[in-house]
């Protein structure tokens, strides 16, 4: 190794020791997180094993497209029966929602349920993955009609809800509002993206500012641009909102159960205390 | 043992003009004189070995609240100071003052020890002389003085205090306070020669008033020793677990307790409505069934609700809560949630139950009589009401017509008897002293009403109370204030 060092310095004198030191570190680095061990091979620390198992648990769902089989939870007929396709009147239409509309009948906008199916499947899949990884999910809706329903849904999932007046700095000024070291939500689900005065909910903009992905049910009068996973659909009918709540609840519970299953399966081969 | 003294004026509140800048040449000398004289006192006293004296000056000055300790010499302010300056403030003061030439705190790194020594001496000799000083020495001296944790002027402290908001105490700190309180309670019991096991809060209060007699009028300014839970305001513990996930599902709203209460309340309303629908479907619904019987009670006030929720709420929120509660009470089958509602109601004490009825006695002739006293302004009166049937009235040995020549005073005297319709029935023997004619008449009226209570029923007593006969008049003469001509009247304002 010493001979190599001299030759290296001869050919690349401007690199200096620093460059060589880095490259040396690269060659010697063990696959277990950069620890430099000079011990006998028998004395292996148990930590890397738990890390492997956790990585396996986290990476396995990413191999399949629909690992949690969320597409089975709903069908087009369910959406139609829940009147998800009914949008607002033509005058209320938002320009950016035009691609998602099937058409307009007697001045009423009809949302394209095929597109809704795809978007809803993507959104549920994403929610399932977030819930699988133990992320914080926040349900937001400013519809007073469905506030209690949304809060109950969140409570049943073991996640969080905010159906009240949105104070300005809840996401952007979190350390002062809640206390230092607070953990922000990892996903925000908007069951209605408008607030009580038919303006876009402040949470959409704040989540975009704080790099928090959002899932939002966008009606024909909403702006879908800032929402990460928009789901074009009706947000006014009780049947539709109950359907969404039920779907999200089932997805999240399914993902959490799956996580527990995976931990149990892999936990048999490694000590359970190490796994988070 | 921890004792808490409420605000006293502190000598170390910075210069009299409130600033401690190097440019303040006029008051600089006065400020430092104060500071150095106090520190020298502290140094000399701490040579005796007693730390309590110095500690008194160096305690919680910034809030004016001083903490006197027995063994341990830490105060909340000292506990919150950065680690570099932690420890006993008096010792630090002593060490800084005496050891300043040798050891300086790391903040004064630009200065060497020697230079610091010369600075200290310069400062010491300088103070005796005139005020003009070179800016360099001034800077150095200011830096040296500012680097000492002991004396910090209020001008420097002021900004930080405003931004910090209400003071937050850690859980460990409160637990430590509780332990110290328990130990101190036992010491106090030993001191008073009582049993440490059965030493109640009343005993503590009694002992403290005995050991520390205070002539202060303001009761909250007197020394007190109470359980830390009563002194330190209730604060929320950390709301999330080790993984960062909050415990409450409405945490991200900001007002979790209040919104959770509203959520539960609305849930109960929905439950009642479902129950009603079920009964209607069966045909068993009746409109006038089982409204909640609340009794003499009132809703919780906003302050009480805030205490219950450990959270501040706005008046708007409180009004909405009350409205929703009232809405629930209006529903026919709300009696199912009675226990939930009663949690947010407080019993009203009936005012008439508080009246002390004087005893009905019988004298040698078998005549029933009762005695009562009354006060008004500076007059005191006592009245003996005899159930004779003649209607004679004597005041201080004189006939009432002679004692009270003015009709108004006699009317005041007669009013309780006339109100109850027992004008000719009783004999009055009155004694009154102090005050003027009107206040004497008022005192007598109150005494007569009280004496009458023992001859009347409960309903009549309640009627008297509602008429205002049993309420002592709280109005007294307001004192004259300096800078004004009277209690309210100001001096004539002159434009020029």
What is the secondary structure of A25-49 as a DSSP string?
HHHH--TTTT----S-TT---SHHH
Separation of alpha carbons A78 and B186, rounded Å = 72
Whole-number pLDDT of residue B252? 94
Separation of alpha carbons B314 and B322, rounded Å = 13
Minimum mean pLDDT range among B34-43, B201-210, B401-410:
B34-43
Domain B361-466, CATH 3.40.50.720 — does that match? Answer: no
Q: Where are the domains of chain B?
A: 2-151, 171-231, 264-347, 361-466
* Token pair for B65: 């609240």
Sheet with strand A160-162: strands edge to edge? A160-162, A137-140, A187-190, A214-218, A229-232
DSSP character for A87? Answer: E
Minimum mean pLDDT range among A216-220, B54-58, B254-258:
B54-58
Find tokens 């007593």 and name the residue: B461
pLDDT at position B56 over 80: no
Please give the biggest Cα pair distance in chain A: 85
Whole-number pLDDT of residue B131? 46
**pTM for the model:** 0.62
pLDDT at position B189 over 60: yes
Query: Of B164, B171, B252, which to mutate for an interface test with A (greatest number of A Cβ within 10 Å)?
Result: B252
List the single residue in B244, B250, B266 with the smallest CB-CB distance to A183: B244
Average pLDDT on B35-64 reads 45
* Residues of chain A found within 8 Å of residue B246, distances taken between Cβ atoms: 136, 160, 183
More confident residue, A83 or B156: A83
Minimum mean pLDDT range among A65-79, A190-204, B81-95:
B81-95
Query: Of A153, A156, A163, A164, which to mutate for an interface test with B (greatest number of B Cβ within 10 Å)?
Result: A164
Mean pLDDT of chain A, nearest integer? 84
More confident residue, B393 or B8: B393
Q: How confident is the model at residue B459 (pLDDT cuts 50, 70, 90)?
A: confident
Decide if A174 touches B, using CB distance below 8 A. Answer: no
* Token pair for A238: 């009780």
Mean pLDDT of chain B, nearest integer? 76
User: Inter-chain contact A164–B259, Cβ cutoff 8 Å?
Assistant: yes
pLDDT at position B27 over 90: no
Minimum mean pLDDT range among A231-235, B62-66, B184-188:
B62-66
pLDDT at position A77 over 70: yes
**Nearest by Cα to A216 from A135, A100, A107, A72:** A100
Average pLDDT on B239-260 reads 93
At CB < 8 A and 24+ separation, what contacts does B41-49 make?
Answer: B42/B90, B42/B93, B42/B94, B42/B97, B43/B93, B43/B94, B43/B97, B43/B98, B46/B90, B46/B91, B46/B93, B46/B94
List the single residue in A134, A164, A183 with the smallest CB-CB distance to B253: A164
Sheet with strand A108-111: strands edge to edge? A86-89, A108-111, A101-105
Partners of B361 in beta bridges: B369
Do residues A124 and A69 lie in contact, with contact meaning Cβ atoms separated by under 8 Å?
no
List the single residue in B244, B252, B267 with the smallest CB-CB distance to A170: B252
């Amino acid at each position: 190794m010493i001979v190599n060092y001299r030759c290296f310095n001869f050919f690349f004198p401007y690199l200096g020791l620093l460059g060589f030191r880095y490259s040396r570190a690269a060659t010697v680095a063990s696959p277990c997180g950069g620890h430099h061990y000079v011990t006998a091979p028998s004395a292996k620390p148990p930590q890397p094993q738990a890390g492997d198992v956790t990585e396996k648990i986290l990476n396995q769902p990413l191999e399949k497209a629909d690992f949690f089989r969320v597409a089975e939870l709903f069908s087009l007929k369910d959406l139609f029966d829940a009147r998800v396709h009914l949008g607002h009147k033509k005058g209320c239409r938002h320009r950016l929602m035009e691609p998602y509309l099937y058409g307009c009948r007697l001045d009423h906008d009809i949302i394209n349920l095929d597109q809704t199916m795809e978007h809803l499947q993507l959104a549920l899949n994403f929610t399932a993955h977030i819930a699988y990884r133990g992320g914080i999910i926040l349900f937001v809706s400013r519809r007073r009609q469905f506030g209690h329903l949304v809060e109950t849904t969140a409570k049943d999932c073991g996640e969080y809800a905010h159906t009240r007046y949105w104070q300005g700095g809840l996401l952007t000024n979190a350390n002062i509002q809640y206390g230092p070291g607070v953990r922000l939500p990892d996903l925000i689900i908007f069951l209605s993206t408008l607030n009580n005065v038919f303006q876009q909910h402040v949470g959409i903009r704040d989540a975009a500012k704080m790099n928090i992905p959002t899932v939002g049910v966008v009606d024909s009068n909403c702006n879908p641009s800032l929402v990460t996973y928009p789901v074009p659909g009706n947000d006014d009918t009780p049947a539709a909102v109950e359907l969404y709540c039920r779907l999200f609840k089932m997805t999240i519970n399914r993902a959490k159960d799956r996580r527990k299953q995976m931990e149990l399966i892999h936990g048999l081969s490694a000590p359970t205390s190490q796994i988070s | 043992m921890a004792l808490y003294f409420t605000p006293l004026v502190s000598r170390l509140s910075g210069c009299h003009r409130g600033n401690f800048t190097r440019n303040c040449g006029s008051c600089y000398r006065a400020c430092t004189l104060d500071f150095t004289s106090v520190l020298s006192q502290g140094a000399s006293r701490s040579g005796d070995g007693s730390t309590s004296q110095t500690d008194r000056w160096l305690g919680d000055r910034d809030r004016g609240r001083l903490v006197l300790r027995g063994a341990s010499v830490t105060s909340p302010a000292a506990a919150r100071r950065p680690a570099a300056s932690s420890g006993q403030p008096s010792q630090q003061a002593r060490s800084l003052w005496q050891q300043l030439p040798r050891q300086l705190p790391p903040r004064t790194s630009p200065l060497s020890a020697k230079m610091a020594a010369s600075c200290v001496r310069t400062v010491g000799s300088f103070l005796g002389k005139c005020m003009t000083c070179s800016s360099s020495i001034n800077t150095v001296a200011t830096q040296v003085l500012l680097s000492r944790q002991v004396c910090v002027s209020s001008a420097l402290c002021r900004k930080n205090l405003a931004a910090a908001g209400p003071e937050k105490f850690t859980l460990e700190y409160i637990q430590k306070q509780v332990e110290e309180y328990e130990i101190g309670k036992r010491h106090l019991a030993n001191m008073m020669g009582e049993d440490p096991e059965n030493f109640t809060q009343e005993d503590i209060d009694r002992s403290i008033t005995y050991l520390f007699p205070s002539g202060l009028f303001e009761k909250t300014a007197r020394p007190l020793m109470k359980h830390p839970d009563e002194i330190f305001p209730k604060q929320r513990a950390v709301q999330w677990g080790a993984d960062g996930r909050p415990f409450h599902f409405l945490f991200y709203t900001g007002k979790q307790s209040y919104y959770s209460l509203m959520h539960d309340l609305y849930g109960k309303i929905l439950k009642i409505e479902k129950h009603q629908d079920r009964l209607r479907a069966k045909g068993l619904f009746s409109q006038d069934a089982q409204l909640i019987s609340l009794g003499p009670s009132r809703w919780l006030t906003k302050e009480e609700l805030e205490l219950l929720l450990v959270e501040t709420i706005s008046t708007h929120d409180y009004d909405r809560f009350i409205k929703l509660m009232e809405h629930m009470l209006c529903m026919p089958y709300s009696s199912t949630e009675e226990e939930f509602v009663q949690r947010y109601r407080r019993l009203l004490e009936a005012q008439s139950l508080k009246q002390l009825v004087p005893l009905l006695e019988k004298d040698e002739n078998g005549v029933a009589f009762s005695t009562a006293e009354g006060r008004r302004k500076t007059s005191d009166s006592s009245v003996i009401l005899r159930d004779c049937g003649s209607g004679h009235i004597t005041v201080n040995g004189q006939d009432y017509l002679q004692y009270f020549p003015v009709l108004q005073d006699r009317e005041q005297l007669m009013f309780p008897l006339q109100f109850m319709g027992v004008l000719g029935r009783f004999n009055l023997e009155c004694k009154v002293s102090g005050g003027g004619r009107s206040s004497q008449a008022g005192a007598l009226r109150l005494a007569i009403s009280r004496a009458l209570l023992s001859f009347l029923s409960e309903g009549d007593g309640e009627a008297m109370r509602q008429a205002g006969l049993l309420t002592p008049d709280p109005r007294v003469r307001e004192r004259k204030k300096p800078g004004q001509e009277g209690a309210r009247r100001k001096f004539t304002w002159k434009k020029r």
